[in-house]
Each structure stands twice: as C-alpha cells, then as structure tokens.
Amino acid sequence: MSDQTTPTAVAKTAKITPKNAAFDFRKYRPFAFAPSLPDRTWPSKTIEKSPIWASVDLRDGNQALIDPMTIEQKMRFFKTLVEVGFKEIEIGFPSAAQVEFDFTRKLIEENHVPDDVTLQVLVQAREHLIARTFESLKGVKRAVVHVYNSTSRVQREKVYAKNKDEIKEIAITGAKLLKEYAAKYPETDWVFQYSPESFSQTETEYAVEVCDAVCDVWQPQQGQEVIFNLPATVEASMPNVFADQVEYFCRNLPQREHVIISLHTHNDRGCAVAAAELGVLAGADRIEGTLLGNGERTGNMDIMVMAMNLFSQGIDPELDFSNMSEIVQVVSECNNLPLHPRHPYVGELVFTAFSGSHQDAIKKSLDYNENNQTETDNVWDVAYLPIDPAHIGRSYQDVVRINSQSGKGGVAYILQRNYGFNLPRWMQIDFSRVVQKQAEAVARELQNDEILQTFEDTYLQQGKFELLDYNVSNKGGEVYFSGQVQMNNDTIDIDGTGNGPLSSFIDGLAQHTGKSLHIINYAEHAINPHHNSGNGIDDDTNSDNKTNANAAAYIQLNVDGEVYSGIGTCSSTVSAMLKGALSAFAQALSVAAA
C-alpha cells in the first residue's frame, strides 16, 4: 500500500478556515433541539380550516416599538382588530406599566369589548405581578391570563442559573397563583394560558414535562380551559424542525385532548409564517401573531399573510381583509413604521409587473377569462397574480406599470384598460419599441398619461396629414373612392378603385404618390363610450357608416418594401380604417424625409 496521501483524503482532513476572520462561521453549531420523530405525520397533511387567531399587536408588537403606543393609539388599533374579526386579542402587560393597566381598565369600564371578543393579558410567574394583573381585569366577562417563564437551556444556564427542576417549579408556582387569584373573581370566565418561553430552544421532552406539571395544577380534564402556547421566541431552526417539535409535543402531552395548542413564531430566519403553517399541520389549534409582522428583532408571525395564504387556497380565514388599505394605514400609523413596497399582499408593488413577459401573461390571462366566462367557472386563475386584487380593495390600476424592462403586453394592457385600445399583436410589437426607447431616454417609470401621449403622437397626430372628405360608391362590382387628403399643407384629390373602401383608398394614394402600397394586416374594434374622453378619438360627419360607439382601426402597410403601422379612430368604422392607413403612410413619408 502506498504511503502517499490521496487528494480526497487531504480534502477530508484539511482544516477549514473562514476567508474573513471577522465573519467566522465556526462560532455556530447546528440546531441541537430537534426531537427524534422518524414517523412524523405532518408532511402528508393539509390545512383545511382556519386556526384560532390571537392578535398580539397591542402587547408583543407594542413592546417592540421605538415609541410605544398611547392609549388613544391602542384604542384605535383595538377597534380595527375587532372589525377585522379577531375574537382573541392580547391587549397588554397590565402589571408592567401604568399605561397598560389604564388601557385595560378603559376597555372594561367603558364597555369597548364586544361579547364575542376575549381579552388576553401577559404576566410573568411572580405573585405581585399576577395580583396586579387580575386587578386590572376586574369586571371583565371573559379573559385569557397568559403566564410564562423561560425553559430554554441557554436561559436556564446563563440567565437564571437554575436546573430543570427549579425552572419547572417556577411554572408550577405560576400556575397555582393563577388558579388562586382567579378564584377571587368568580364572575369572570377565566382561561389559563402557559408558555414555556423559548420553546423552540428547549429540549422538547422537557417542555412536555413542564407543561404536564402545569396540567396537574390546572386540571383541564375537569373543565378548566387551558392553552399551551409554544413560542419560537427566537427562530433558530428550519420550519420543518419546528413542526417536528410541535408534533412531538402534541403526541406526548398526556392531557392533549383537553387543551388548546397555540403557536407564537418569530421571524429571525425569515420563516415565521412557514413555521406556523407547518406547526398547524403538526397539530396546533391556534396562532398568535401581529398584523404586518411587527415584533422584536425581525418581527412576529404576520397573521395577515398567513390568513391571506389560506384565502388564496380557497379556505375561509375567518378574518376580513377586504378593506386592506385602511387596515394597513391604521397599523402603520399606530406603529409608526413604514410598509415595505414588496410586503406580501399589501405592499404598493406586490400586484405590479414591470417585466414584459409577466405583463404579457397577465394580459392574456385576463383577456382569456373575460372571453370565456361561464356561470360555473368562477375560479381565479391568472398568471402571476395569486389572488384577485379586488378582493382586498385594490384596483387593477397598478397591476401593470411600464419602464424600460416592460414589453408589448404591458403597454397593450395599459392602453386597453385605461383608454379602450385593444392593440393586435403586430401593433403591440411596433408600439412597444417606441415606448421602450422613451423609457430608456428618461431612465424611469412612465406614467399612464405619458404612454397615451406617446401613442397619440406616434399614430393619431400625424402632423399635417388629414383625411378631409370622401365618398365611396359601388359600380359594376368595384368600389370607387373619391376624396381629399391634406398632406403638408396641400390639399390633394385622391381617386382609386378596389374591392372595398380601404383598398380603393390605398390605390388612390399609390397612384398619386407613385409608391408601392400593400396592406399587410388590418384589425378594428369598437371602443366603449367611457374610454372616449381625452384619448384623441374624434367624430366624422362625412360618412353614413356610423356606429353607436367610437371605432379604432389598426393598419399595417408595406410602403416600398418597408413595413409601417398606423391607427385611426372615429365614430365611423370606414373613416377609422382610412385614417389608420393614412397614419401608416404618414409614418413612411416621415421616415423617408428624415
């Protein structure tokens, strides 16, 4: 055997060092608290109904603000949460600050709490704080008192310097105190909630042990309502690992059938919504979070996003976000935090496509749906749009916006949606080149009125080229055109023959100018009356061929071997096609002159 070390062996035994000592990945270790769950069942499940939602905006969200909310802001936020449909709302930490206590009293004493809404408050497992908490809730019809203590290894060892038994005893003591103080206020329907804080970084079997000890105190099997809330106080693992922790907990808690399992995920790894969704698959009944995801560090689980995810899958989220713009305004103003333009579902740009291929697909999907409507097929199915923006109070105004990256479909969509021009494909290609050059020249997004102006300048206002008057007649199977056209301040008589008004007009133009003219493509459509204002459409009183709505005609003309496109609009379809041909011809002369 050779003593020479192979390259593979060297690679396996070489010491790996970071390229930058200040960015040293060796300080970190793989997640250490994943339970062994080889027979996990959650991957094969689907979410079929909405979980119980609990908003913690007024507590967890509030504590993460640079400037915590005033009582007035909290009241405005609370009313919005009620209007959205939340039935459980954590309103604060009454024992932590006077403003929190006063807000709790204000809600109760002034009857701001609907009968179907349950208040929730947070408190540490310490007697004087628990006593103050129950005092704040005096007279409430129903309330959740949420007690917690941290159970994670790092907190046990480095923060509290206590062993597992001592930490469990804190939880047991807190549970006993809740039961004791609740008995002093028998007029209230009390729900007890316990959180092993930092559940995600706690040995899962130990979390089960602590919660089972709390069950021994509260006796949920005897009728006491109990919630166990499992927080990913710090998101430290992939969502699938968190789901394993939740399923392990649900399987192994002896009183599982008598309690509600709640989740409270944070967004340190950017996966809070995913972790909550997988946690529901793993057996959780309830979700705590905030609207738009405000919370400590990178934020809490965004209830709006998770609810809209369900909505987009045809599941009733049991929360109403149809007035999304107003909800976002309240949340942003009360939190004094801006909303990212790409925030899922609600950001300014989330339903906006700049990419040409995206715009084209959106336009074609919407056109297909409009042209193939049936009474039984009302399912939303549009490329690049996961939901109908109208369902959350958004219009189609900003679905497509135009910059230098945009393509023919986007430009066509703008003209069709706003101004009634349904450009055929060959015209889309022609005009998109014009728009792209303009966008590149100004180096920014183009506004709709700028696109319309460019459209009119290119096709509808061809300088001094104008169809003045004409007459079309049939003789011996041929169509005769006779009329006048203004070209560069000269009035020119045009006479021609053909098999229709357009071909006879083209024949007359060819005879007068000596150019070779051939029609390549032609299309026309009526324009709805509500699109007529301010879009360059005019009337023509010289023809008997009028329509009830204005018409647009698109002409692609071969002039001496080169292809040019033109558009004409008029209340007469014949006049529109003639103007379209003149528009294309005027472009040809303009290019030749340049």
Neighbours of 274 (CB within 10 A): 21
- Do the Cβ atoms of 233 and 298 come closer than 8 Å? no
Per DSSP, the residues of 525-589 read: EEE-GGG-TTSS----SS-S-EEEEEEEEEEEEEETTEEEEEEEEEEEHHHHHHHHHHHHHHHHH
How far is it, in rounded angstroms, from Cα 164 to Cα 143?
A: 30
Contacts of 319 (CB under 8 A, 6+ apart): 50, 53, 84, 85, 86, 303, 307
- Do the Cβ atoms of 520 and 500 come closer than 8 Å? no
Token pair recorded at residue 286: 């309830």
Per DSSP, the residues of 193-221 read: EEEEETGGGS-HHHHHHHHHHHHHHH-GG
Confirm or deny that 300 is annotated as ligand binding: yes
Both ends of the chain: CA-CA distance in Å? 83
Which residues is 470 bridged to in the sheet?
483
3-state secondary structure 58-82: HHHHHHCCCCCCCHHHHHHHHHHHH
The sheet that has 546-559: what strands, in order across it? 517-527, 546-559, 562-572
How far is it, in rounded angstroms, from Cα 308 to Cα 355?
A: 25
Confirm or deny that 266 is annotated as ligand binding: yes
Confirm or deny that 24 is annotated as ligand binding: no
CA-nearest of 115, 93, 114, 96 to 104 is 93
How far is it, in rounded angstroms, from Cα 358 to Cα 370?
A: 18
Token pair recorded at residue 499: 């098999």
- Do the Cβ atoms of 358 and 384 come closer than 8 Å? yes
Helix then strand count (H, E) for the chain reads 18, 14
For residue 287, report the phi and psi dihedrals to the nearest 5 degrees: -130, 130
Q: Which residue has the tokens 């919407």?
A: 366
| Pair type for strands 52-55 and 88-92 | parallel
Confirm or deny that 112 is annotated as ligand binding: no
Residues in the annotated binding site: 60, 264, 266, 300
Residues in the annotated binding site for Mg(2+): 60, 264, 266, 300
